[in-house]
Structure 1
Amino acid sequence: MSGYTEAMLALLAINFVVALAGYLPLAAGQLNLGVAGFMAIGGYVSAYLTNTYDAPIYLGVIAGGLVASVIATLLAVPLLRVSGIYLALATFALGQVIQGVLLNLEVVGAAAGYAVNKHASFGFIVTSAAIVLGLVFFLTKTRFALYLTAVKNDPVVSDLFGLNVKITKIQAFALGALIAGIGGALYGHHFSYLEPQNFNILLSIYIALYVLLGGTQTIYGPLAGALIFTLLPEVLRGSDQWRYVVFALAVILIMAVRPQGLITAQLLRNWAGRTKPTEAK
């Protein structure tokens, strides 16, 4: 496998992880435009622990995810008092605050960036991504997934039926931040360098696109979105600046043809019905 192919597959695995970080809050009706900020927290925490205290990479990755999750939990209480576009604006501002703090934090290189000494191999990245995907897939088979859907569809009715809507939203927000922190840590350790500019609002928007255009109804939607929007720019790289035009047109086309996302629950049921073996008469 060439170095370019390996780097692309590693980036795709990381994008699968961060797509799920955007998926969990959206499954509860929360458009989080601060996912890149939580990625930055996870990446810098993990890099600092492995650089300064010689911690193993896997411990650094776990710690990065946990710190991002704890910070998200603390911030969720005031942030989730608003919803809809106001929540999107609040999380956008949060991402900008995190980026601004890192730009001025000398202990991790500030605007000059931060070299990550311990390198995560391609196998480690893929294995970590597979573990995260497996855990989220398991989560979608539990009652918690039903709670998220109920809160998204009608929080008032959910509250009347005894579901603690506020706690459910906080849990979804914190779990998304946990996964985003892991994704950021994997990114930093594989590419061996971090800088605040990598975790800007454009990255958060791309992550939101993975979920919205891939589909929010199943776990497969965000993965399909991440696959398309990771590989499509590379396929179009030979077309020079026109690739940005083609990429934007592809987004518009998908939104026009499939506003509910590329992969929906009904689509999966249809596929399952077609592939189901015919019973013997």
Structure 2
Amino acid sequence: MAALKRAKGFWQWIGASILFFIISQIFISTGALNSFLVNTLLTIGINIILAVSLHLIIGITGQFSIGHAGFLAVGAYSSAIITMKLGMPFPVALLIGGIAAAAAGLIIGLPSLRLKGDYLAIATLGFGEIVRIIFLNTDYVGGASGMQVSHMSDWPWVFSCVLITVIVIANFTNSTHGRACIAIRENEIAADAMGINTTYYKVAAFMIGSFFAGIAGGLFAHNFYIIQPTNFGFLKSFDILIFVVLGGLGSMSGAVIAAVLLTIISTFLQEYPETRMIIYSLVLIIMMLYRPQGLMGTREITSFFKKTKQQEGGTPDGSKHTVA
């Protein structure tokens, strides 16, 4: 019964998301949204994918990774090579970009995920910088000058990738595999003692998160016409990390909300370059002072609707409370 309720709520959110896509696509098609607003919408979608994919690694599995920009770079350059150098279709480029990033996640994951805490953070940060330096010194992809890419990312592609990312990671989190990852986050020693293969699940979560970061990289590369190694520095990793921390560690809804809010704030403050980072930083400081657990804590947005329903005198299944 509980599974049916979760499924019903899940499909309601999917329906609402599709309705939002249809309405926004109508606005785009009729020209009601200018190119700046459309590009902002695409950037929000790409950042949501990055936030949700890192949420699986940090928020669910508890692995403190700050090298997500490295997987973004691998996906961006891999997909750009597929379309610009090999002339293959955009969907194939996205898929190969994701697979390349997942392979990079496996390569860095096997040796480094035996580390914990700050040591893991340093290892993943080093991986991100190694990837950036490799592309910086590779003439095949333009080196420091960057690589020109055709504009192929549009709203239907970005929305589809966002929807797939959210569905896959939400279902993974609610599965037995996700519960194993949460157990590792809470107490890795206890999880190992209960027979959970901690290394397997940490590497699996790392690869899934890396795969979707690679998909985001492909969308990123084909949206901004040119990609350069400077786009994927360690500050980009911290930007993605902020989405997850500000939204609330363990809350996918929080990661999505934080990605949307911070992208809008950052985009619309670009006209004020002198004060943009000051205002951006103040927002984060105030948030961490008064809401250190993040916007959502560990809760999902659906929990608020259940609470409201109970306060109105009904239970989550729609029945009324009775008093004997």
Q: Indicate the TM-score class for this superposition, using the shorter chain for normalisation.
A: over 0.9
Among 50, 70, 75, which residue is 2:103 paired with?
Answer: 70
Alignment of 1:22-61 (within 5 A): 22-26=54-58, 27-61=60-94
Q: What residue number does 2:150 align with?
A: 117
- Alignment equivalent of 1:127, drawn from 160, 166, 173: 160
Pick closer, same or farther for the CA change 1:251–1:165 going to 2, 3 Å.
Answer: same
Q: Kindly indicate whether the alpha-carbon contact (under 8 Å) linking 1:50 and 1:118 is maintained by their aligned counterparts in 2.
A: no
Matched letter for residue 274 of structure 1: T
Structure with bigger RCO (C-alpha 8 Å, 6+ apart): 1
Paired residue type of 2:38: E
Distance 1:263 1:182 in 2: 26
Q: Does 1:17 align with 2:46?
A: no
Q: Distance in 1 between matches of 2:242 and 2:298?
A: 18
Mapping 1:82-161, distance limit 5 Å: 82-117=115-150, 119-161=152-194
Specify the alignment match of 2:307 in structure 1.
273
1:115-167 per-position Cα deviation (integer Å, ceiling 9, x unaligned)? 11352222222222222222222222211221111101100000010000111
For normalisation by structure 2, the TM-score amounts to: 0.82
Checking the alignment, whether the CA contact within 8 Å between 1:119 and 1:190 is kept in structure 2 is yes
Runs (5+) with no aligned partner, structure 2: 1-32
Letter in 2 for 1:233: S
Deviation for aligned residue 1:113: 0.4
Which residue of 196, 216, 222 maps to 1:189? 222
Name the stretch that deviates more: 45-54 or 151-160.
Answer: 45-54
Quick one: which of 260, 268, 279 aligns to 2:293?
A: 260
What CA distance in whole angstroms lies between the structure 2 residues aligned with 1:104 and 1:158? 43
Distance in 2, matches of 1:66 and 1:117, equals 21
The 5 A counterparts of 1:194-213 are: 194-213=227-246
Cα pair 2:253 2:300 within 8 Å, conserved: no
Partner Cα separation in structure 2 for residue 217 and residue 135 of structure 1: 16
Q: Distance in 1 between matches of 2:43 and 2:233?
A: 17
TM-score (norm 1): 0.95
Higher mean Cα deviation, 198-207 or 48-57? 48-57
Partner Cα distance (1:195, 1:177) in 2: 20
Amino acid at match of 2:243: Y
1:44 is displaced (CA, Å) by: 0.6
Residue 67 of structure 1 deviates from its aligned partner by 0.9
Report deviation, 1:206: 0.6
Contact 2:102 2:210 in 1 (8 A): yes
Q: Which residue of 2 aligns with 1:2?
A: 34
Aligned to 2:19: none
Aligned to 2:14: none
1:46-83 alpha-carbon deviations (Å, 9 max, x no partner): 11011122211111001011011012112212111211
The offset of 1:29, in angstroms, is: 1.2
SS in structure 1 of the partner of residue 36 of structure 2: helix
Which segments of 5 or more consecutive residues in structure 1 lack a partner in the other structure?
Answer: none
Q: Distance in 2 between matches of 1:180 and 1:72?
A: 10
Q: Which moved more, 1:246-255 or 1:149-158?
A: 246-255
